Amino acid sequence: MFFIHGGSYKTNGGRFYPGEWLASAGEVIVVTVNYRLGVLGFLSTEDATARGNYGLLDQILALKWVKDNIAAFGGNSSDVTIFGNSAGGACVGLHLVSPMSRGLFSKAIAQSGSPIGEWAVQRRPGMYVKRLAKKLKCPDVDDSETILKCLRKIDPEEIIDKSEDAKTLEDSLMLQFAPVVDGEFLLKHPTTMLQQEGSLSPLPVMVGVTRDELEDCLILAYQDKDPASIFFTKDLLRKYLLHLVRKDFMSGIAADVLLHAVYTEYVYRHGTTSHHKKRRQQQHKMSNGTIPYYENNSSVLPDIRTLGKIISDIDLKAPSVKLVNLLTLHPSVSVYMYEFDYASTDDVIANKYLGAKNAWVGSYHESELYYIFGFPHMNLSNALRLSEDQEVSNIMIQLWTDFAKHGNPTPRKINEENVVKNFTWRQYTEEEDCFATLGLQPFIARSYESERMTFWNHFVPLFTEYPILISSNHTKAIPLEECKITYAISFAGWILAIVFFVVLLQLCSCRMFKNFNVIGKIPIPV
């Protein structure tokens, strides 16, 4: 089992994930690796001068080493499972479609990270290289060789220190130095490659998320505040949305439409109790004529949980669901999906930073790794120690190692050692979108968060496919007939999009699904 750590492509390391308990309890060989990170691992000038993806090439080299040498450790070089979390999960997805990774592994697990998330692949790497060069007082030129020659003369530590400064406030939710389409490791964008027939080798793939995902970021950002007291203005939410859903393809009008749609989906329809109370008050005032309709949402603000749910859905959950749906297009790929749904009452991180308020932490981003690597069984200061924690750890280890051994996470041991009782993990297919909810007692459910996933994976993409063509700074007159045709097409597209979305929501509402409370990652409070 070959583990690729996460950390936004810029931090973390293999040494933080001791594999001895997983190896011993699961009877597998565990390999954890390091790879180049940040600007040194993913700087790209978008040409042959610096193609980028150096961190991914390090992973390739490590996989080749495993293939050549793992037999000396009692391993099977033809039976390698790659698994990773967060950015490591996205790396797993990138290896699935990379021609350079073919034949180096036979199974894959992408945990809380998808290669088709907007953050996973950098679409404008050259822009960040120029910003970094400017910070380091390199020549302000378009020539890549000149810029790179200057950067090579600067102390690496200074480059690393300044690399974060290259990120503007507006891009604060994106990753500036990340994998790129380089024509070698990655031939095309992962979404395009996943849609191509024959782009994947026949293999089993597991994809999953945690219930509350990016919670750990909020622990650090708001440890001294009551989450129920933190609200965000519509303008701030609009700003977040623009930088999470490819703002360069969205006009101001489209952004306003998206903002209203998100408000409707997350605040009015699925918001917190305080949201519903305010909404009822507003509706009562409108019915009495106390306030006009155009002010009907002025005081209903998204709180920190709602914003967290939005960001988690955009960054991790919707891309993961889209990934499993694209994988099902390949008959030779067997797909398994999960949601980790367990939260310990003895969570050291929650207790340390939140104290009595730790009940809202939930199953946060990367929390499943503590159980997979057996932390509850280890003599560590930050280990979870409850008997329930140890039981969940045993369950996760058995599921993960059974998948690594057999390509199917359904437990194989039929004796007293089988810690998972009466559980069959069904595949995720086009006909049956099954997923496993993992905790003290795993079970199978259907249609993961169907309404919200439909919103992001089917409705929101229409904003780029059918853009609203309105601009206030045209310098060239457009022929009247051309305007009529253009706006007719755009308007018709939006009408179809809205109808399509309403129909999908109606269909989804008829299906059983579970509501999950999600917390998000470091926003900027008003």
| β partners of residue 336 | 206
Q: Which helix or strand (DSSP H or E) is residue 179 part of?
A: none
CB burial readout 266-289, b (16+ within 10 A) else e: bbeebbbeebeebbeebeeeeeee
Other CB atoms within a 10 A radius of the CB of residue 48 amount to 10
Q: Could you give the CA distance from residue 141 to residue 130 in angstroms, rounded to a whole number?
A: 8
**Digit-coded pLDDT (tens) for 176-194:** 899 999 999 999 999 999 9
User: What per-residue confidence (pLDDT) applies to 148?
Assistant: 94
Q: Which residues have CB under 8 Å from 122's CB, separation 6+?
A: 42, 44, 128, 175, 176, 177, 178, 179, 180
Q: Give, in order, the Cα–Cα distances in Å from 521 to each of 215, 312, 313, 315.
A: 6, 8, 11, 10
User: What per-residue confidence (pLDDT) applies to 401?
Assistant: 96
Q: Residue 322: pLDDT above 90?
A: yes
Amino acid symbol at 51? R
φ and ψ at residue 431, rounded to 5 degrees: -85, -35
Q: Give, in order, the Cα–Cα distances in Å from 345 to each of 112, 199, 363, 383.
A: 22, 44, 11, 12
Per the model's pLDDT, the better-predicted residue between 231 and 133 turns out to be: 133
φ and ψ at residue 204, rounded to 5 degrees: -85, 145
Residue 374: name the closest of 364, 387, 361, 384 by CA.
384
Q: Which residue has the tokens 């891009």?
A: 171
Share of the chain above pLDDT 70, in %: 68
- Residue 457 in 3-state DSSP? helix
Q: Residue 384: pLDDT above 90?
A: no
Q: Could you give the CA distance from residue 139 to residue 385 in angstroms, rounded to a whole number?
A: 56
Other CB atoms within a 10 A radius of the CB of residue 210 amount to 31
Structure confidence at residue 261 as a pLDDT band (50, 70, 90): confident
User: What per-residue confidence (pLDDT) applies to 203?
Assistant: 96
Average pLDDT, integer, range 219-234: 59
- Would the pTM of this model clear 0.75, i.e. be above it? yes
Q: Among the listed ranges 99-108, 204-213, 259-268, which one has the minimum average pLDDT value? A: 259-268
Q: Among the listed ranges 59-63, 163-167, 365-369, 384-388, which one has the minimum average pLDDT value? A: 163-167
User: What per-residue confidence (pLDDT) applies to 293?
Assistant: 32
Q: Could you give the CA distance from residue 108 to residue 114 in angstroms, rounded to a whole number?
A: 12
Q: Residue 316: pLDDT above 60?
A: yes
CB neighbour class for 75 (10 Å; exposed up to 12, middle 13-18, buried from 19)? middle
Query: Which of 86, 98, 334, 450 is an active site residue?
Result: 86
Q: Could you give the CA distance from residue 78 to residue 70 in angstroms, rounded to a whole number?
A: 10
Q: Could you give the CA distance from residue 259 to residue 242 in angstroms, rounded to a whole number?
A: 9
Per the model's pLDDT, the better-predicted residue between 482 and 517 turns out to be: 482
| β partners of residue 443 | 437
**Digit-coded pLDDT (tens) for 20-62:** 999 999 999 999 999 999 999 999 999 999 999 999 999 999 9
482 catalytic per annotation: no
What's the N-to-C CA distance of the chain in angstroms? 45
Q: Give the helix ranges, DSSP H, for 373-460.
A: 387-406, 450-454
Q: Give the helix ranges, DSSP H, for 202-272.
A: 215-221, 234-242, 252-262
Q: Residue 157: pLDDT above 50?
A: yes
Q: Residue 476: pLDDT above 50?
A: no
Tokens of 169: 């406030």
φ and ψ at residue 84, rounded to 5 degrees: -160, 160
Q: Given CA atoms 40, 41, 43, 45 in this order, what sign does their dihedral have?
A: positive
Sequential DSSP letters for 59-111: HHHHHHHHHHHGGGGT--TT--EEEEETHHHHHHHHHHH-GGGTTS-SEEEEE
Note whether 114 and 191 are within 8 A (CB): no
Tokens of 120: 């996973």
Average pLDDT, integer, range 143-151: 94
Per the model's pLDDT, the better-predicted residue between 251 and 41 turns out to be: 41
User: What per-residue confidence (pLDDT) applies to 494?
Assistant: 52
Q: Could you give the CA distance from residue 400 to residue 350 in angstroms, rounded to a whole number?
A: 26
Query: Which of 213, 215, 339, 366 is an active site residue?
Result: 213
86 catalytic per annotation: yes
User: What per-residue confidence (pLDDT) applies to 251?
Assistant: 59
φ and ψ at residue 3, rounded to 5 degrees: -100, 130
Note whether 340 and 357 are within 8 A (CB): no
Q: What is the CA radius of gyration of the chain?
A: 24
Structure confidence at residue 379 as a pLDDT band (50, 70, 90): confident
Q: Residue 300: pLDDT above 60?
A: no
Q: Could you give the CA distance from residue 456 to residue 450 in angstroms, rounded to a whole number?
A: 10
Tokens of 453: 């996933």
